[in-house]
Structure 1
Amino acid sequence: MLLLGAVPADPAVAATASPAGDLHPGGQHAQGRGTVVSAERIYTLPTVEEVSASLEEHGFGNDQVRYGVEGYRLVYRTVDTDGRPTTASGLLILPLHRSGALTPVTYGHGSELLRTDAPSTDPHGFDATAALGYAASGFATLAPDYLGMGKGPGTHPYLHVRSAADVTLDMLRAADGYLPTEGRTLRSKVFATGFSQGGGVALGLGRNLREDDGTRFRLGAMAAVSGAYDLRRVQIPAMLEGEVAAKPATVSSAYALASFNRLHDVYDDPGEVFREPYAPKIDELTDGTHSYQELAEATPETLQELLTPHGEGLLREPNEAMSRALVETDNACTGWRPQAPTRLYFAGGDEQAANANTPFCARAFARQGVDVPVQDVGAEVTGPSLHFGSQIAAQPHITEWFLSASRH
């Protein structure tokens, strides 16, 4: 259940606005997955100095900045959790003055609650800034908003790995179709990374690229940071036993249970799982129109104050519907064999993602015969949050690894 992937927004750095008419229509195959519906340039940071300043606003280093960038919002066709046609949006960031075909990096962002906190609608927020760092080192970087976030319709299916991986693959297709209109092209080798909720998304994309026959893309490498890869056996017990900080556990549990219920009918009435006076508020507060701060202010400090005995029982001994939901959250590392180099990062003592999640994932891949290195970057974290700090600390390692791998 995790994760509070949002942080208070810092003031946006200066950016050059696009002309109002800078819109591009989609291609001929309007019903095809990955078809571009619209593309709009939403900012330009033309100099290394401006990019560096933007990264520093959120604590990211700038040693690997080599290019100015421009950011685009893509809206494109994809499918929902039931395979029905829908649309999604995402942030595409391109390095300026970089000649030749560009190597794509996909970045799966951490959990967001307010739909406009997604990368393409909050392009100077924490996760969009992480994506900026990869682009400034020379990659074409794609940060999908996920279903129900950004400009996409509906409600976000929180922690649903497959759908987030699907929209990431479809954004790759969309970018591949769109870039020639800007005189650019994408290489076929893809590097996938992600933080928090997005760690599982990066691994899910790796699975998609291994199994999908309808794309020219192939996986070059994967790097996942501080994910909650096993809710049922690792993350939920850690929250119930106090290993995860109480307030993040409470807020993310409210979000997850409401989201799971929308997909799987986990309960008939909110009062079955949430105590009064919280029960009537949870569904509305998790519909994408409210912030994490609003949800935090409307919920108590501990899970025991939030959940009824039945609600806590769903976490300890899931019923059939809850089990179906957990199967969909806990499949990023299990049941498949990565066919590209993979690395996992975490920060020891993380207050939101239980540390046991990462070795669990490594062991799952080991059972498939794949040795996945695990790196604790906790000693490199300088900010107050080990969770968010783990992305900041891991990113230079990941960037250098991707740069090296892209040369081969």
Structure 2
Amino acid sequence: MSVLLLGTVPAAATAAPAGDQHSVGPHTEGRGTLVSAERIYTLPTVEEVSAGLEQQGFGSDQVRYGVDGYRLVYRTVDVDGRPTTASGLLTLPRHRYGALTPVTYGHGSELLRTDAPSTDPHGFDATAALGYAASGFATLAPDYLGMGKGPGTHPYLHVRSGADVTLDMLRAADGFLPHKGRVLRSEVLATGFSQGAGVALGLGRNLREGDGTRFELGALAAVSGAYDLRRIQIPAMLDGDVAAKPATVSSAYAYASFDRLHDVYGDPGEVFRAPYAAKIDDLTDGTHSYEELAEATPDTLQELLTPHGEGLLREPDGPMSRALAETDNACTGWRPQAPTRLYFAAGDEQAANANTPFCARALERQGADVPVHDVAAEVTGPSLHFGSQIAAQPHITEWFLSVSHR
């Protein structure tokens, strides 16, 4: 449930040469079919990669390679199973050829479509992917539906679609990498932060159930997810147990997204107070930033929501209940048949801490062994939420290196 946006372009990054593109003819079809691939940046040396990581607060001790970044556009399906396209950032270690182990990285919540990894390739989300690639992995960071170069609006917090576009990006990268002298190993290492933590778990479920690919889950590491909105995250937001402003902004975004998918309200004025009711739909259509939404909304949920809007969060029913069911299924009803770890930071101002032990218990009830790691003591920045990804990443990278063939 990320709200703050971090993103600066490191001076060391250089644009890709003109014409470094790979296109596929319009006759091709099917989920995961590559539509186009374009190299969008290169960081040729470990020094330049390290500078890019450090500008976003990430450590650079595990950097071993320069990195090339590619934008893939590929075929997938929308939330209703209809054909569409999506985009994502593929980062590859330079001068490392042959078989590479894929890491999938599910990014945190974004509102402005161009803040997705492939269209903001040196922002916070994409920089996490850069770190894994610099350690030797082929790293895939899907933009999600309605983000980056994909059409439509983003179905915020919709776990299944995030997992679907990730799996289809694996298929697309599988077809693209041989053109670059590489192939993907079948073992997938899945990770993600905040909203992307649920996406990583959803991908694990897809791979567990066998979704018509040769890929299988090798390891899973999720960071600071809001895994149970209905019973944990929403009560924490309403009762002031997480920061009020991020809770207000996230709720406005979620309500509008849920309404697009499930017709939660007939008129925005049913759930949003004036003057906010007239603004929320436009501000959450992918053409505005979180900063704009934050400036246009009040400081607390009680100021944003009508009594009906607040009541629907406290006691969801009908379409709202169905919407929440689609967000709260990442950890329940399945067992990862691969090593799994969860990370969080005690005191996280955005994702209620109870989410992580809930997820661990749910997976353990299915027979999994799920260690939980608190990285709060290692966070140095002002945000425990964003800092949890920065602090967890070296641990995840070291673990992925130990369990993979690379």
**TM-score, length basis structure 1:** 0.98
Counterpart in the other structure of 1:3: 2
- Give, as a single letter, the amino acid of the residue that structure 1 aligns with 2:126: A
- C-alpha distance in 2, partners of 1:88/1:181? 21
Compared CA separation, residues 29 and 223, structure 1 to 2 (3 A): farther
Encode CA deviations 1:99-139: one digit per residue, 9 max, x unaligned.
Answer: 32110000000000000000000000001000100000000
Counterpart in the other structure of 1:57: 55
- Give, as a single letter, the amino acid of the residue that structure 1 aligns with 2:394: P
- C-alpha distance in 2, partners of 1:207/1:30? 28
Contact 1:118 1:149 in 2 (8 A): yes
Contact 1:27 1:36 in 2 (8 A): no
Counterpart in the other structure of 2:295: 297
Counterpart in the other structure of 1:147: 145
Structure 1, gaps ≥5 residues long:
none
Deviation at 1:28, TM superposition (A): 8.2
Deviation at 1:233, TM superposition (A): 0.3
- C-alpha distance in 1, partners of 2:27/2:183? 19
2:194 to 196, 202, 207: 196
Counterpart in the other structure of 1:218: 216
- C-alpha distance in 1, partners of 2:22/2:31? 17
Aligned residues: CA RMSD: 1.1
SS of alignment partner, residue 185 of structure 1: strand
SS of alignment partner, residue 120 of structure 1: coil
Deviation at 1:212, TM superposition (A): 2.3
Counterpart in the other structure of 2:204: 206
Counterpart in the other structure of 2:325: 327
Deviation at 1:29, TM superposition (A): 6.5
Deviation at 1:158, TM superposition (A): 0.1
2:246 is equivalent to residue 248 of structure 1: yes
2:103 is equivalent to residue 99 of structure 1: no
SS of alignment partner, residue 353 of structure 2: coil
- Give, as a single letter, the amino acid of the residue that structure 2 aligns with 1:393: A
- C-alpha distance in 1, partners of 2:357/2:317? 27
Counterpart in the other structure of 2:363: 365
2:72 to 58, 71, 74: 74
Counterpart in the other structure of 2:394: 396
Contact 1:107 1:193 in 2 (8 A): yes
In the TM superposition, 1:81-230 aligns within 5 A as: 81-230=79-228
Deviation at 1:169, TM superposition (A): 0.2
In the TM superposition, 1:372-391 aligns within 5 A as: 372-391=370-389
More deviation, 298-307/25-34 = 25-34
Compared CA separation, residues 185 and 29, structure 1 to 2 (3 A): farther
Regions of 4+ moved over 4 Å: none
Deviation at 1:268, TM superposition (A): 0.2
Counterpart in the other structure of 1:315: 313
Contact 2:276 2:304 in 1 (8 A): yes
- C-alpha distance in 1, partners of 2:170/2:109? 21
Deviation at 1:70, TM superposition (A): 0.2
SS of alignment partner, residue 337 of structure 1: coil
- C-alpha distance in 2, partners of 1:204/1:106? 12
- Give, as a single letter, the amino acid of the residue that structure 1 aligns with 2:2: L
- C-alpha distance in 1, partners of 2:140/2:327? 22
Contact 2:10 2:51 in 1 (8 A): no
- C-alpha distance in 1, partners of 2:53/2:83? 36
Contact 2:268 2:278 in 1 (8 A): yes
Deviation at 1:21, TM superposition (A): 1.9
- C-alpha distance in 2, partners of 1:194/1:328? 18
- C-alpha distance in 2, partners of 1:270/1:309? 13
SS of alignment partner, residue 51 of structure 1: helix
SS of alignment partner, residue 242 of structure 2: coil
- Give, as a single letter, the amino acid of the residue that structure 2 aligns with 1:86: T
Structure 2, gaps ≥5 residues long:
none
Contact 1:27 1:35 in 2 (8 A): no
Counterpart in the other structure of 1:265: 263
Encode CA deviations 1:46-104: one digit per residue, 9 max, x unaligned.
Answer: 00000000000011000000000000000000000000000000000000111321100
Contact 1:194 1:201 in 2 (8 A): yes
- C-alpha distance in 2, partners of 1:286/1:402? 36
- Give, as a single letter, the amino acid of the residue that structure 2 aligns with 1:50: E
- C-alpha distance in 1, partners of 2:233/2:11? 36
Contact 1:10 1:58 in 2 (8 A): yes
- Give, as a single letter, the amino acid of the residue that structure 2 aligns with 1:300: P
Deviation at 1:10, TM superposition (A): 2.0
Compared CA separation, residues 28 and 48, structure 1 to 2 (3 A): same
Instruction: Count residues in correspondence.
Output: 406
- C-alpha distance in 1, partners of 2:140/2:25? 19
Contact 1:13 1:124 in 2 (8 A): no
Counterpart in the other structure of 2:236: 238
- C-alpha distance in 2, partners of 1:29/1:180? 20
Deviation at 1:213, TM superposition (A): 4.0
Contact 1:29 1:35 in 2 (8 A): no
SS of alignment partner, residue 294 of structure 1: helix
